[in-house]
Structures are given as C-alpha cells and as structure tokens.
Amino acid sequence: MLKRKIEKKLDQWIQNSKKALIVTGARQVGKTYSIRERLQANKCSYLEINLIEKPEMIAVLNNVMSVDDMIVNITAIMDYKFVPGETIVFIDEVQELKDIITRVKFWVDDGRFRYVLSGSLLGIEMRNLRSVPVGYAQLLTMYPLDFEEFLLVAGMIDDTISYLKECLAERREVEEAVNERVLKAFSRYLIIGGMPDAVREYVETGDINNVSDIQSNIISLYKQDFSKYESKDKKLFLEAVYDTIPSNLLKQNKRFNYTDIKKGFHFEKAENSFLWLTYAGVTIPVYNTTEPRLALEQNKKSSLVKLYSSDVGLLTCQYGSPVKLQIISQNDKVNLGGLYENAVAQQLYAHGFSLFFYNSHKHGELDFVTEYNGSVLPVEVKSGKDYYVHSALDKALSNPEYEIENAYIFANCNVEVKERKVYLPVYMSAFVEEELTLPVLDPRV
C-alpha cells in the first residue's frame, strides 16, 4: 500500500471539519485512491460517484441546487440510503460538471451531509469560475510521490529517514554507507518518479520496461486532456510547449525558448499555455526574479521562465531508454543537470515553496531562488563532481544588499558547511520544510 503524506490532512478533515473538501492535482497522482482509502480506514459511511465512469450521473446532478433534490435524483437510480450526520458524498472527476463547485456552498449550509469533490483539472476550472466557495470549502492539492514517500514505499524504515532529517537540521555528515544507499535510491527516483502506478510497478516487479509503459500512457492521457478541454489551436500550442520541456532542460540556461514553438512566437501568445499546464498540475513554472531579495514575487518577470515537468519520471521517460541506462550505469559523463534540477524543483514545489531563478549578465545565473524561514535562499543543483564551482552564487552571497544568510547546494555529496554555503546530498531536497511560524496576535486594537 502506498502511504502518502496527504493522508494526515484527509484524516484531519474527516475527523474535524464541516466544510466541503476539494482535492485537486494532476491526473494519475492518486487522488481517488487516497480519498477512498482514508474514508474506509476511518469507517466512514460514504457514497462515491465517479462522473467519468458513470456519465449518466452528470444529468442526474445537473441543475441540482438543494440537498433534497440531490437525494431524490440520486436515489431514483442508485440503491443508497442517505443518513443525516453520517453520509459523506464523494464526487470524483468533478471537472465533468464544474458547476457543482459553486453549489457546494448551499449543500454545506444545509448541514445534513459532508462532501468531497475531486478532479484532475480542477485547478483550471476553479480559476475560471466566477464564484469559488472559499469560506465553505477546504482545498488540498495533491502531487506525485516526493522522494521521502518513494523511500518509504521502497522499504526504507522511518528511523533512517528521521536520521537523515536530523543530519539536515544539525548540518552534520551522514554516515557514508547510508549516504551512498540513499543517493543510489535517488538515481532510481530519477527514472521511476512519483506517479503512484509507476512506483507500485517498480516496487512489485522492478521491471523498468513496465514502468516506462505506464509513464508513456500517462503522458498520452495528458495530451488527450489538452484536446478534450481546449480548442484545437490551443491544444496544438499546449502540446508543443509540453514537448519542448525535455530539450529546453538540456540547455545550459534551461529557459523556455519561444522560437522552438514557432518563429516569431512571443510570451504573450504562450502565457496562457504556461498557466493552463500549471493549473492542470502538468508543469512547474520557475519565473525570473530581477533581484534576489524579499519579496521575490514583486520582482517577477513572467516573460522569462523555466518549465519543469511535475514528475521527473515522466521527464526521463520522454528522454527514452538510453538516458535511463546511463543513469543506471552511473555514467557521470552524461549531462543529467536538467533531471537533477527537475527532481529538486519537484520536491520544493510540492512542499509549498515558490521558486524563481535569477540571471544577471554581470553576475551569472542562480538555478533557484526561494524564500525560506523569513529570508531569501539561493539554491544551486549540481549533477557532476564540480559542485564547489559556483561563481554566480559566490557573487550573490557577497552582495550585502541581498541580505542572504545561507545558500544550499544540492549535489552527489555529503553534508558539508563552508561559511554560508551548505552542501547537501541532492536527496535532502525532499526534507526541506518551511519552519517559520507567525505569532498569535491579540485581536484587540
């Protein structure tokens, strides 16, 4: 069984909340499985309706405003007894009838039942809706398995992971045998990624060919979504943008090149495609910040962007079998910088970090810049042995105007601290969590 971090939040909602729960995330990240598993584990009485598997339910629920109407319409074709105060209504693939999201306010107000809504393109639908019931719903976003979840599924014990987190917190060296073992597991993660079906196949069979078939199928499903939910012209743009991610990440600066899509193509035509892919959970955008200082969002330059895949395993699948063989054989002559960056971006993004990059003709480029514990944190990712070389990072650290306290360098190394530069094994990116908490304020003015 795949153990996911989101289970704790699902349990908290089941046990404590009267709001509706809206779970969004990319296709195939395990939303349905996790919701159903936690409802069953908590011995909940629930009704599950999948609007793709049972399309006839779309007509049943269409234009239903009141809870009484919902009960009548559902029980007319389904053998189910609603129990006030107990029944949880779980509507999956709700993007097929997006208006339900706005109606949930009235259902929650009724108070008899509770509701879970889940769908693979809800990020897009909620962005387009005029009225999202913020005060009546809790929103959870689900991502592919991060590396910590991957380790647990692959059999690593909690004590080992706790030990690694202690090494990160205390900035002390990891025992070499443990470090080598986890670095090897991370190289496997570059191939397998975090899509639940791919991880499950890897754990059960170890057959990379089967894993690749699963990943290829997921990529095909993504592209079907492009055409299903967008016009033909928009679909072509989306597919073209998505297909250029692997090649762009092989470049030195890894930035998206608009002319790869079409000569004369500009940011203004591509922006909506970037946003669509992001809200669909398919890509991770990393925008340029003109200054590596608080607040990074205010210095964002949207026309300069790096696009990463939401799952590093899907990215590796797009590169094909030769790259996978080079990773397995640990050939350090192959450029894996894009894969390493993608994996690190995936970990940090899933943990809630907003990622930017900084580039200056004078100072060079920082792979990532984010805000961590109240200050700016530059992040460099190195796949080779030259991880001590980083002139742009040195220049940023030496500039007092940026007020940078520390920088993280993720590489195939052990934990080491040199002045304000913290060298970390690349897998430690999965354990970086925001620690800053805001104080409780006296509401009296």
**How does pLDDT run across 177-207, given as a tens digit for each residue?**
999 999 999 999 999 999 999 999 999 999 9
User: What pLDDT score was predicted for residue 133?
Assistant: 61
User: What pLDDT score was predicted for residue 130?
Assistant: 46
User: What pLDDT score was predicted for residue 370?
Assistant: 97
User: What pLDDT score was predicted for residue 132?
Assistant: 58
Q: What residues in the chain have per-residue pLDDT under 50?
A: 130
Model confidence pTM above 0.85? yes
User: What pLDDT score was predicted for residue 437?
Assistant: 66
User: What pLDDT score was predicted for residue 394?
Assistant: 92
Domains and CATH numbers, the chain: 6-142 (3.40.50.300), 147-431 (no CATH)
Sequence letter at residue 108: V
User: Inter-axis angle of helices 31-41 and 6-16, to 10 degrees?
Assistant: 50
> What phi, psi does 59 have (nearest 5°)?
-65, -35
User: What pLDDT score was predicted for residue 265?
Assistant: 65
Whether the Cβ atoms of residue 302 and residue 273 lie closer than 8 Å to each other: no
User: What pLDDT score was predicted for residue 143?
Assistant: 96
**C-alpha–C-alpha distance, residues 442 and 104, integer Å:** 33
User: What pLDDT score was predicted for residue 226?
Assistant: 82
User: What pLDDT score was predicted for residue 438?
Assistant: 67
Report the run of H or E that residue 418 belongs to, with start and end: strand 416-418
DSSP 8-class letter at 440? P
User: What pLDDT score was predicted for residue 276?
Assistant: 85
Burial status of residue 20 (CB atoms within 10 A of its CB: 0-12, 13-18, 19 or more)? buried
Whether the Cβ atoms of residue 45 and residue 86 lie closer than 8 Å to each other: yes
- At 111 the three-state DSSP class reads coil
